[in-house]
Structure 1
């Protein structure tokens, strides 16, 4: 049996050359498409791994914060600061300087409760109120007494007082 000599005919030579060049072009197109797809997947993978790392760090921080809060919640709450506000000071025509001095005097009178547990202060709120109401505060030959209007006990003790001038 004899194989016909197609390699000598120009039409077959063009066919084989075209098939070879087409195969090379198809190979380069395939490599380009694969590279583009791989690049997109790699970028997406990096972005997702970055998000996972961020979420892990956030989770660790939240767990640490929760642990710190649980440790803090075991400690008793204490009074950290005292805030005194004079209500209805216009009735006695008090200027701002006298109001400030009176507020500071009241704060000095009850400053010993800073650092005390809130539960202790809450149990003795009537004692605190009577301490403020029964003490006279003297400024410029005038003695002022106070009536406690509102007493808010939290980590910041807030007291609203109404001034009264003594006779």
Structure 2
């Protein structure tokens, strides 16, 4: 068996050379197209990474602001302080030091209301009122009671009371 002598025929030589050159050209075209597509895909991926990073940072900022607003709203809905004002102390000639001591005592009686939910404190407003009105204090050897004139419930409870002689 012998291999046919095709190398002597120019038609076959041109066919094989054309196949080889065509294969090389198609390989170069394939590599160019594949490289262009991969470059475009890597650019898209990089853009998407940047967008994701930016959105994650924005999300963190929103979460921090949301947490701060929640904390602020929670503080706004709880009792933060108690203010007591006695209006007619001058009528009974009570000095300011004794008056301050007695308002501090009243504030101490109402201290459990601090940091409580505003709605629960408002529901128990009669209890707050009775706590103050049932308190009898002794100033300058005389006994006094309080009557509530106004109560404002907000983050600071403001109580306006009058003092009178106990019976």
TM class by shorter-chain length? Answer: 0.5 to 0.7
Name the counterpart of 1:157: 157
Q: Indicate the structure (1 or 2) with the bigger Cα radius of gyration.
A: 2
TM-score, with structure 2 as normaliser: 0.56
TM-score, with structure 1 as normaliser: 0.56
Name the counterpart of 1:101: 101
CA displacement 1:13-45 (0-9 Å, x = unmatched) = xxxxxxxxxxxxxxxxxxxxxxxxxxxxxxxxx
Tell me if structure 2 keeps the 8 A contact 1:105–1:137.
no
Q: Matches of residues 19-30 of structure 1 in structure 2 within 5 Å?
A: none
Name the counterpart of 2:116: 116
Q: Matches of residues 13-162 of structure 1 in structure 2 within 5 Å?
A: 67=66, 68-70=68-70, 72-73=72-73, 77-162=77-162
Q: Give how far 1:137 is off.
A: 1.6
* C-alpha separation in 2, matches of 1:108 and 1:140: 21
Which runs of 5 or more residues in structure 2 are unaligned?
1-60
Q: Give how far 1:85 is off.
A: 0.6
Tell me if structure 1 keeps the 8 A contact 2:81–2:157.
yes
RMSD: 2.6
CA displacement 1:59-79 (0-9 Å, x = unmatched) = xxx967852224543677211
* C-alpha separation in 2, matches of 1:86 and 1:93: 13
Q: Give how far 1:112 is off.
A: 1.2
Is the alpha carbon distance of 1:76 and 1:137 closer, same or farther for their aligned partners in structure 2, counting shifts above 3 Å? Answer: same
Is the alpha carbon distance of 1:93 and 1:139 closer, same or farther for their aligned partners in structure 2, counting shifts above 3 Å? Answer: closer
* C-alpha separation in 2, matches of 1:164 and 1:74: 38
Equivalent residue pairs, number: 108
Q: Give how far 1:109 is off.
A: 1.4
Q: Give how far 1:139 is off.
A: 3.0
The alignment partner of 2:147 has SS state of strand
